[in-house]
Chain A
Amino acid sequence: MKIAFKLFASLSDYLPAGSRDNRIELDVEEGVTVGELIRRYQVPERSAHLVLVNGIFIPPAQRLRHRLKPGDEVAVWPPIAGG
């Protein structure tokens, strides 16, 4: 199934080749969890601070349980803030 994977700020270094504007479309197996996806691209766990699936926050404890669906947009940030 196809999903979009987006890494922002300092995490953009972990995006595989072929990504544009901090985003890449990936073909992944059914049932993969958001936590597995983050591990697969070697994003350090403590750097994957703000994890959103379709804009909704996924708390750390649910990341290895939250299964992705076709068309999902996964976006990850390190600890950041602004104002």
Chain B
Amino acid sequence: MGWNRKILRVDLTKGICSEEPLNMQWAQEYLGSRGLATKYLVSEIDPKVDPLSPDNKMIMATGPLTGTMASTGGRYTVVTKGPLTGAIACSNSGGFFGAEMKFAGWDMIVFEGRSPKPVYLYVENDRAELRDAAHLWGRSCWETEETIKHELQDPLVRISSIGRAGENGVHYACIVNDLHRAAGRSGVGAVMGSKNLKAVALRGTRGVSGIRDFGEFMQATTAAKKVLADNAVTGQGLPKYGTQVLMNVINEIGALPTRNHRDVQFEDANKISAEAMHEKRPTDGKPHLVTNAACFGCTIACGRISEIDKGHFTVKNSPKYWGASGGLEYEAAWALGAANGVGDLEALQYANLLCNEQGMDPISFGATVGAAMELYEMGVLTKEQIGLDAPFGSAEALARLAEMTATGEGFGRELGLGSKRLCTKYGHPELSMSVKGQEFPAYDSRGIQGMGLAYATSNRGACHLRGYTVASEVLGIPVKTDPHVTEGKAELVKAFQDATAVFDSAGICVFTSFAWTLADVQPQIAAACDGDWSMDRLNEVGERIWNMERQFNNAAGFTAKDDNLPPRLTSEPARTGPAKGMVNQLDKMLPEYYQVRGWTPEGVPTAETLARLGL
């Protein structure tokens, strides 16, 4: 079956944990994880609910392949209404927490209400209870994880928690598991904090039972693992260089957003790249990178584990940061680096460690700093207001602002609300490099046209993981398309969006899609799960999930006007590189996209589309 057929409902207001059967009809229609949890959420909350109120709910969910032998089957998602955007939020994390939820016998955990005092949820197989977390409040994710393990005298317990950012309502706070894996985007950690829920600690000892046909499943997963191993990207490129290898690629093609998207190429890109992480530092003779790392059951192992330079100004008096720890991944390195014009790799790693320690999304944090630096350079924000000089390129400012935001100190409180609110407050909403209030990731859509459409239409606000057309437009996966043209991009974006919804809902990592197509995933799902899981069905499930998310956003008050890009990207041409002179031509692609989706020119799914998808 793939599913445990059981969900845990936690009423935080009343302090009650109860068991419910999983709605198997919905499991057939929405598969699991992202899709299924979103179906529960949209069925249970008012789309207009205040994301940080007790009436919002938060769901942690696994997919049918989570915890199984399928490669990368360790993923879980957090689904809620996000405070950064007011749209549907669905953040995905690897590590080991998701698999543990499965081993404990649950498919998902639904949190509702608000606890009167800080608590954490402890689950040991069937047993679930809320425990006092007064002693954990005010502590970092790292301290919380260590304290709970110590308290329970169980080093194998798996923990997801919020740090001080989530407690303080940082609008892009994340939920960190296994020290440096995170359900990162859209502020899911702030929702958790608003519920006075500090952590979820899981211990499951039951493995995964109920695979539909075990022999077939073994065969399917083994064949799929061979595809990953034989593929040069997933077999060699990602384990050796990680996602960070993109830094020089994206800079070369002139799509590396730099200094709040003023520029599209960063003169110091090489200094903060994967190649730089491999090189020995002149200061201590050691490379930044220590090793790669894998999430549960992953045969790719793209994760980076690095050691910061102990003599660097950011950490020379803080030995707690000296050990090997997670980072830098491409998105974090870009957002903390190029987006602010900072070319100091060690400073980026320090800010990244703070994000992991206190639970903040480094993309939105870094991009918000970029916006603040632009306001500072324009004279709109002063040294007195910020508390320090913050010109582009200042590693000192980056490090200090990370500390202030992570702990809610001074101007850090304002940065914690995200670039949209910050820029609006200071009279320049156009300088927030965001869609629906969520900051862009590391690709400038003037040089990669399809990404502009993917960002504008992403259901959780600007995001690369909802439709990663970079794979096709830049890397040639599965086929190379021209990043500078708009023709064909509407279909491309739709295809990526729908397929990704299936990968996410199955409980596997989207990075498998550099080698796998849906045709590699399908036999694994079909062998694990009861029901008809043909390619046609999977494609339909992906499209259904996308439309369901869209309908939620529409009901929450979003319209076609919100499928937009900041004016900088549509009217200020790229200044250098191969895309010099170009802007993003969203206006050409968007009407076509609505048509391809079966939506009205106003961006609303037609009755016919809804009927076709059974919505």
Q: Which residues of A contact B (CB under 8 A)?
A: 6, 8-10, 12, 21-22, 49-50, 52, 54-57, 59, 73, 75, 77-83
Contact = CB atoms under 8 A, between A and B. Distances in A.
A49 B232 CA distance: 10
Interface string B458-489: 00000011001011001111001010000000
Q: What 4 A-B pairs come out closest when comparing CB atoms?
A: A82-B243, A55-B578, A79-B232, A82-B246
Contacts of B240: 9-10
B514 A81 contact: yes
Contacts, number: 89
Given A8-B275, A12-B275, A55-B252, A78 B237 contact: yes
Among B242, B253, B330, max chain A CB count under 10 A is at B253
Interface residues of B, number: 41
A50 to B, nearest CB: 7
Taking chain A's interface residues, is the majority helix, strand, or loop, or is none over half, making it mixed? loop
A7 B106 CA distance: 48
Interface in B234-276: 234, 236-238, 240-246, 248-249, 252-254, 270, 274-275
B274 A9 contact: yes
B510 interface: yes
19 contacts: A6-B252, A9-B275, A10-B236, A50-B475, A57-B474, A57-B480, A59-B480, A77-B249, A79-B231, A79-B236, A80-B241, A80-B246, A80-B249, A81-B245, A82-B244, A83-B330, A83-B465, A83-B510, A83-B511
Q: Is the interface of B mostly helix, strand, loop or mixed?
A: helix
A83 B511 CA distance: 8
Contacts of B242: 82
B245 A82 contact: yes
B577 interface: yes
A50 B476 contact: yes
B556 interface: no
Nearest to B244: A82
Contacts of B236: 10, 78-79
A30 B344 CA distance: 39
Nearest to B249: A77
A55 B577 contact: yes
A78 to B, nearest CB: 6
Contacts of A82: 238, 242-246, 330
Contacts of B613: none
Contact of A81 (B233, B253, B579): B233
Contacts of A79: 231-233, 236-237
B346 interface: no
Contacts of A52: 252-253
B248 A22 contact: yes
A75 B254 CA distance: 13
